[in-house]
Amino acid sequence: MTTDQTANKSGQPGDDPTSKYPKPPFPRKPQEVPGTEGAMDPKADHGEQSYRGKNRLTDKVAVITGGDSGIGKAVAIAFAREGADVIISYLDDTEDRDAQDTVRYIEEAGRKALSIKGDISSETHCQKIIETAVKEFGRIDILINNAAYQMSRESLQDIPAWEWEKTFAVNIHSMFYLCKAAEPHMPPGSSIINTTSVNAYEPNPTLLPYAATKAAIQNFTANLSQILLEQGKGIRVNAVAPGPIWTPLIPSTIPDHEHFGENTPFERPGQPVEVAPAYVFLASDEANYISGATLPVTGGRLTI
């Protein structure tokens, strides 16, 4: 038996990534929006047991929207284990337990944690998030615009105007509000990372408002990167484009979530822990010469 075969048998590095995590079909267990981690089946992996930090973000201060669950939770855990203090924002009481769990993992990593509850579609609340972070830590080194809203609709006529407006308010307006509020408090060497999506390249016809916002995030990222560098701010702006990732957003907004992720070459959805390293890399000094870029984490779905 070869070394690689032995590694595969023991579950060590060398595992086939296409079969490392559960594949559909999953149990059909719909949730109410925004969904919670506790009701998911199968459970998502945020790196609770597996992520090992390497001091890439020592003593940095990070703000992460949607940090209670899903990708935001995995990024918060990874950042803390890389040495960062972390402020997470989340929407409402439904997500309290998930947010408290994220805070616990940050603190267990020996870092300071803050959680701030409220609606980021409000500019006033976005300003509060930044003001609280600056009051507590004096600055912001990393801003992760990750929280998002989506709903599945079969036709254009099924999309109510309020839903179109809410999707843009949560996914686009909040990003502008947070970047504007945070920029004066971000020293040279800081990093803004926005969560776009494979839908910016290959839009799902049932996610028209969501896909449109994700394409807008691509443009915003590239444009803001140029603005801040041309102004000599020394702040890098990049994006991560996840493919189908297994988070509470899926069983709460996708009717056929039992087949979620089958449309990737991996034939499965990604886990939040598989996306987090992309944010760590872009936030770290290892990405010092990267700005205006988008890093795809799509399970093999093409973004060209």
51 an active-site residue? no
Cα dihedral 171, 172, 173, 176 sign = positive
Residue burial 60-81, b: 16+ Cβ < 10 Å; e: rest: bbbbbbbbbbbbbbbbbbbbbb
Q: What token pair was written down for 133?
A: 């972070």
Residue 234 CA to residue 2 CA, distance in Å, equals: 48
Catalytic residue among 90, 149, 201, 210: 210
Give the Å distances, CA to CA, from 188 to 48, 185, 259, 287, 288.
31, 10, 44, 14, 11
Residue ranges of E strands in the chain: 61-65, 85-90, 113-117, 142-145, 191-195, 236-242, 294-297
Q: What token pair was written down for 296?
A: 């795809």
Contact 17, 266 (CB under 8 A): yes
Q: What are phi and psi of 295, to 5 degrees?
A: -100, 115
Q: What are phi and psi of 8, to 5 degrees?
A: -65, -40
- Active-site positions? 210
